Amino acid sequence: APTRTIPDPKGNRLQPPAVTGGSIIGLLHTLCTKGLRAMVRDQYTKLGSVFTVSFVGLKDYFAKWGQQGKVNLKKELDHLLMLISGRCLLGKEVREKMFEEVFMLFYELTDNGMRLSSVLFPYAPLPANRRRDTVRAKLSAIFTEIVRSRKSSGRTEDDVLQNLIDSKYGDGRSTTEAEVIGLIISLLFAGKHTSTIASTWTGAYLLSNPSYLTAAVEEQKQLVRKYSGYLDYGFFHEMDVLHRCIKEALRVHPPVPWFSRKVHKNFTVRTKEGQEYEIPRGHTIVSPVLFNSYLPHIYKDPDVYDPDRFGPGRQEDKAGGKFSYTAFSGGRHACIGESYAYMQIKVIWSHLLRNFELKLETPFPETNWNKIVPEPKGEVTVSYKRRLLPIQ
């Protein structure tokens, strides 16, 4: 197989896990970048400092599909994204030995922990809260065992869990077991479900819009030619058409429909009509992403799925300043997994586009508003047929 050294996004050589100082959020920022790198690295078989092109997990997963058939896309993507999280965040113990168990527990945690009732009344003695706490305890027990076994054997792995174990605060204190477990569950919680939903909406839109589907497939052909089949970081980084298709799906269906901030200092907001509002210290304010994403003076025909609105010459995501596009929030607590999320969705969808002809069999999904992270309602059935000549 042809070989090539994996390029680092910033042109540096990939570094071993570094000791990180600063706050937990700073720590998370560093780790998410490392998560992204771990994922990119996972697509290659390591041969010393050289990597061969082989995204083993993803290829294996889709190899199980037949020549043609029908699948519930939402379920497939959910499974696949858990596999990717299993590899990049949790490591090979989970992936190799207890994937199904962790997958089911995590599914239950998400299902019970993302109800309106559990978000508004997290400590109320409700059945959903009790189930959430039970599965959280089971997950903790599994991850604690992994952390302890790694520490006692002196074995290290190339994943985010290891980075959390090895990290230290600015004052030199190591992370505790409870912090490591809490952070890894938070990362899974923040990143996996949102990405499943984003990739399902992206698929539903692509398969309902032949012109964008054709453009995305054409882009794959061009990039495969340009990179002579080497699927490296640059290859995924250059998928502008697919990137815009994902970004637009996230505008129309933001998985996080609002976010809130506690006001620490009084400040004044001026509307575009010039009206001023004083926001007092101590208040909690909410930014409704769902509303922001449809503002007609920012987005032309906001109800229309139009990925080109982010393209050269239009750039509507900048029309109202740096907070025009808030699917990943903004400011100090903006999403730290944005690049990682785009990358994993591109890795999946580019593989599907290169290898399969796909058709949406069920009507375009409605939104299930009963969930805190609104998702496509019901099954999203897609029929597939392997391409006679995959784009490679």
User: Which positions make up the binding site for heme?
Assistant: 335
Does position 25 interact with ligand HEM (CB under 6 A)? The reply is yes
Does position 201 interact with ligand HEM (CB under 6 A)? The reply is no
Pairing status of strand 3-4 against strand 50-53: antiparallel
Does position 198 interact with ligand HEM (CB under 6 A)? The reply is yes
Region binding ligand HEM by CB under 6 A among candidate stretches 24-32, 51-59, 117-125, 358-366? 24-32
Does position 81 interact with ligand HEM (CB under 6 A)? The reply is no
- How many beta carbons lie within 10 A of that of residue 72, not counting itself? 15
- How many beta carbons lie within 10 A of that of residue 175, not counting itself? 21
Residue of 6, 20, 27, 35 that binds ligand HEM (CB under 6 A): 35
Cβ 224 to ligand HEM, closest distance in Å? Answer: 25
User: Residues within the annotated binding site?
Assistant: 335
* Per-residue binding letters, 311-340, with ligand HEM (x by CB under 6 A): ----------------xxx---x-xxx--x
* Per-residue binding letters, 225-264, with ligand HEM (x by CB under 6 A): -------------------------x----xx--x-----
Residues touching ligand HEM, count (CB under 6 A): 23
Tell me the H-state helices in the chain: 24-42, 56-63, 73-85, 92-97, 99-113, 116-120, 127-153, 160-166, 177-208, 210-226, 233-237, 240-252, 289-292, 338-355
Contact 53, 372 (CB under 8 A): no
Task: Report how far apart the first and last C-alpha atoms of the chain are (Å, whole number).
Answer: 13
Residue nearer to ligand HEM on the CB measure, 230 or 258: 258
Cβ 375 to ligand HEM, closest distance in Å? Answer: 12
Residue 290's SS3 state is helix
Residue nearer to ligand HEM on the CB measure, 337 or 365: 337
Residue of 43, 112, 175, 194 that binds ligand HEM (CB under 6 A): 194
Residue nearer to ligand HEM on the CB measure, 41 or 386: 41
115-136 in b/e form (b: 16+ CB < 10 A) is beebeeeeeeeeebbebbeebb
Region binding ligand HEM by CB under 6 A among candidate stretches 1-9, 140-148, 186-194, 346-354? 186-194
What distance in Å separates the CA atoms of residue 95 and residue 39, rounded to the nearest whole number?
14
The secondary structure of the chain in percent helix, strand, coil, rounded to multiples of 5, reads: 50, 15, 35
Residue of 17, 20, 27, 28 that binds ligand HEM (CB under 6 A): 28
Residue nearer to ligand HEM on the CB measure, 85 or 224: 85
Residue nearer to ligand HEM on the CB measure, 118 or 292: 292
Torsional sign, CA 251, 83, 216, 233: positive
Region binding ligand HEM by CB under 6 A among candidate stretches 64-72, 187-195, 219-227, 233-241? 187-195
Question: Which position's Cβ is nearest ligand HEM?
Answer: 337
Residue nearer to ligand HEM on the CB measure, 95 or 384: 95
Contact 205, 305 (CB under 8 A): yes
What distance in Å separates the CA atoms of residue 173 and residue 182, rounded to the nearest whole number?
17
Residue nearer to ligand HEM on the CB measure, 211 or 284: 284
356-375 in b/e form (b: 16+ CB < 10 A) is bebebeeeebeeeeebbebb
Residue of 14, 126, 190, 290 that binds ligand HEM (CB under 6 A): 190
What distance in Å separates the CA atoms of residue 329 and residue 257, rounded to the nearest whole number?
10
Contact 8, 37 (CB under 8 A): yes
Residue of 38, 187, 353, 382 that binds ligand HEM (CB under 6 A): 187
What distance in Å separates the CA atoms of residue 42 and residue 57, rounded to the nearest whole number?
8
Residue nearer to ligand HEM on the CB measure, 191 or 365: 191
Binding site for ligand HEM (CB under 6 A): 25, 28, 32, 35, 187, 190-191, 194-195, 198, 250, 255-256, 259, 327-329, 333, 335-337, 340-341
